[in-house]
Amino acid sequence: MARAVLVTGASRGIGRAVAQAFAELGDRVAVHHRGSPGLADEVLAGLPGSGHVVVQADLADAGAVRQMVGQAHDGLGGLDVLVNNAGIFVPHPVTEVSYEQWQDAWREILAVNLTGAANVTWCAVQYMKATGGRIVNVTSRGAYRGEPRHPAYGASKAGLNSFGQSMARALAPFGIAVASVAPGFVETAMARPDLDSARGEEIRAQSPFNRVATTGEIAAAVVYLASEQAEWASGAVLDLNGASYLR
C-alpha cells in the first residue's frame, strides 16, 4: 500500500535521495524546503508516480512548522512516515568567533536541527497516533566523535539521537516506531567545500574504503527503517560511516 511520506530538507542532498527512494516504492512524498522553491520543484518534477507535493517552512518558526505539516497531511491525504532530515551547518570554532557570533550560531543551529525536528515530530504525531507510522531522524557521526569547528551541530545531532530514543519509548504504544541514521561524510553540496579542500584526501581516508558515502546509501537505510519490517529497530541509531568511526 502506498504511504504518505514527509521528508524535511528534501530539496537537495540526502533529503532529495530519500524522497526519490520513497517515490520509487510507489509512496506519495511531501518535499519540504526552507527557501529553495526552484530546487524543490525540480525534485518534485523528477519523482516517479503521482500525488507528490511541495511544502515550505523555516523549521525555526514553530507556527510555520505546524502549518507545513498540516499542508503535507492534507496534500498527501494522510501521513504515515516522517523523515527529519533538514539541518544547517555553520562553522563557529570557539577560539575564532566573537561572543555574539557564538550565541547566534548556537541559537540558529539548535532551532532548526533539534527544536525544529522536535516540533515537526509533535505535529506529525497528532496525525500518526491514530493510525501508527514511522519516524526516521537523520543525525550524524559528529554526535559521537565531536565537531571542533561545529560544536552546536554536533550537540544538535547528539540531542536528536536522544530525542529519537525518547520518542521510541513514548510512541510504541501507538504503533509508531522511531529510529535514526548517523552518517559520516556524504557526497552532498553541504560537504562539498570540505571534500574539495586540501582535507579531501584525509576525509576519504578516514574510512578503510577510502571514500565517503553516497546519498543513495543513506536513503536505502532510511527506507528500511521506515518499513513495516523494521519495527523492532525502534530506538536504534544506525551508524553509516564506512567504519570511519567505531563506538
H/E stretch holding 134 reads: strand 133-138
Q: Which residue has the cell 515530530?
A: 121
The Cα–Cα gap between 210 and 236 comes to 26
**100 exposure class (CB count in 10 Å sphere: 0-12, 13-18, 19+):** exposed
Residues 6+ apart with CB under 8 A from 205: none
DSSP labels for 171-189? HGGGTEEEEEEEE-SBSST
- Identified catalytic residue from 99, 127, 144, 153: 153
Residue 153: active-site member: yes
Residues 6+ apart with CB under 8 A from 112: 58, 59, 60, 86, 87, 88
Beta strand pairing call for 4-7 and 53-56:
unpaired
Q: Is 203 helix (H, G, I), strand (E, B) or coil?
A: helix
Instruction: For residue 199, count other CB atoms closer than 10 A to its CB.
Output: 11
The Cα–Cα gap between 53 and 57 comes to 14
Catalytic center residues: 153
